[in-house]
């Protein structure tokens, strides 16, 4: 069975890193080094776009491509990330080495990075392509060795929501009777709680195949946060 790549994803709490971890495995059908498949230890070169004829017995590399669609529906296609160059160094000795911490410095358009290592990553639908290449000839190793996936990244609105919850004044909810609450205190509590409920609803709907609805929800949450912070 041909190599069938897989990835898992994890956002950092401060939204500066998304950790991509290879979840392909190495013991079963379709996994690294099984049934004639290349192994992760074969990933030992950088991408060569010289146009030379492909050499199957030669070097291989891993590439990660990321397209991000924001809540306005604008899609940005970032340069391919050569994972061997960025993370492999002299190669991948163990499956646990295939962990790729993507930061704003890795999101580049024509070589210009989205931001620094501490810049928050952009929210939206991330269209991920993860694939193995023959280094010489720039051909895909195998048509089945391409993983395409969509993930929703919501770090900016998540951090914004929790910041607003933390900023609720202590005296806004320390009343025995709701009649004692002022309009200002109600707003101090209810608006952040509204944001939080919307965030929970959006995350619960993240498995929906309709990405337009997810982006609409994200846009609404962005608006709530912006209005509260104004």
DSSP states of the chain: ------EEEEE-TTSS-EEEEE---SSSTTSTTSTTPPPGGGB------S-PPP-TTS-EEEEEEEEEE-TTS-EEEPPPEEHIIIIITT---SGGG-EEEE-GGG-EETTEESS-TTSPPPPEEEEEEEEEEETTTTEES-TTSEEEEEEEE-HHHHHHHHHHHHTS-GGGS--SSGGG--HHHHHHHHHHHHHHHHHHHHHHTTT-S-HHHHHHHHHHHHHHHHHHH-
pLDDT over 70 (residue 50): no
């580049």: which residue's tokens? 108
Q: Which domain holds residue 178?
A: 155-229
18-22, 87-91, 105-109, 199-203: least confident range: 87-91
- The verdict on 75 and 187 lying in the same domain is no
- The verdict on 109 and 23 lying in the same domain is yes
- The verdict on 145 and 219 lying in the same domain is no
- The verdict on 115 and 208 lying in the same domain is no
Comparing C-alpha atoms, which of 156, 166, 167, 165 is closest to residue 223? 156
pLDDT over 60 (residue 23): yes
pLDDT over 60 (residue 138): no
Question: What does the pLDDT average to over 149-159?
Answer: 93
d(CA 38, CA 53): 19
- The verdict on 83 and 188 lying in the same domain is no
- The verdict on 160 and 171 lying in the same domain is yes
d(CA 158, CA 155): 5
Question: What does the pLDDT average to over 27-52?
Answer: 78
Residue 201 pLDDT: 87
- The verdict on 125 and 68 lying in the same domain is yes
In a domain, 1, yes or no: no
In a domain, 70, yes or no: yes
pLDDT over 80 (residue 141): no
Residue 55 pLDDT: 41
Q: Which one is predicted more confidently, 24 or 60?
A: 24
- The verdict on 146 and 162 lying in the same domain is no
pLDDT over 70 (residue 104): yes
For the ranges 52-56, 94-98, 166-170, 187-191, the maximum mean pLDDT occurs at 94-98
Average pLDDT score, the chain: 83
Torsion angles phi and psi, residue 92, rounded to 5: -105, 110
pLDDT over 70 (residue 42): yes
- The verdict on 134 and 212 lying in the same domain is no
- The verdict on 111 and 24 lying in the same domain is yes
Residue ending a domain, among 112, 129, 153, is 153
- The verdict on 144 and 33 lying in the same domain is yes
Residue ending a domain, among 127, 153, 179, is 153
pLDDT band of residue 191 (cuts 50, 70, 90) is: confident
Question: What does the pLDDT average to over 202-216?
Answer: 80
When divided into structural domains, the chain yields a total of 2
Residue ending a domain, among 103, 118, 153, is 153
- The verdict on 92 and 190 lying in the same domain is no
pLDDT over 70 (residue 21): yes
Residue 202 pLDDT: 87
């Amino acid at each position: 069975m041909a190599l069938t790549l897989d990835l898992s994803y994890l956002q950092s709490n401060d939204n500066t890193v998304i950790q991509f971890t290879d979840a392909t495995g190495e013991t079963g059908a379709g996994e690294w080094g099984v049934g004639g498949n290349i192994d992760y230890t074969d990933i030992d070169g950088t991408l060569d776009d010289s146009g030379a004829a492909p050499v199957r017995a030669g070097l291989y590399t891993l590439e990660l491509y990321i397209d991000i669609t924001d809540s306005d529906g604008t899609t940005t296609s970032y340069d391919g990330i050569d994972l061997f160059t960025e993370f492999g160094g002299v190669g991948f000795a163990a499956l646990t080495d295939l962990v790729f911490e993507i930061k704003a410095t890795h999101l580049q358009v024509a070589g210009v990075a989205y931001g620094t290592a501490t810049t928050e990553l952009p929210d939206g639908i991330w269209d991920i392509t993860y694939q193995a290449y023959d280094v010489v000839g720039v051909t895909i190793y195998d048509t089945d060795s391409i993983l395409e996936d969509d993930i929703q990244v919501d770090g900016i609105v998540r951090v914004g929501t929790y910041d607003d919850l933390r900023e609720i004044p202590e005296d806004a909810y320390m009343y025995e009777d709701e009649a004692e609450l002022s309009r200002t205190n109600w707003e101090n509590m209810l608006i952040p709680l509204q944001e939080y409920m919307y965030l929970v609803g959006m995350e619960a709907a993240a498995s929906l195949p309709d990405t337009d609805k997810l982006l609409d929800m994200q846009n609404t949450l962005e608006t709530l946060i912006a209005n509260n912070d104004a």
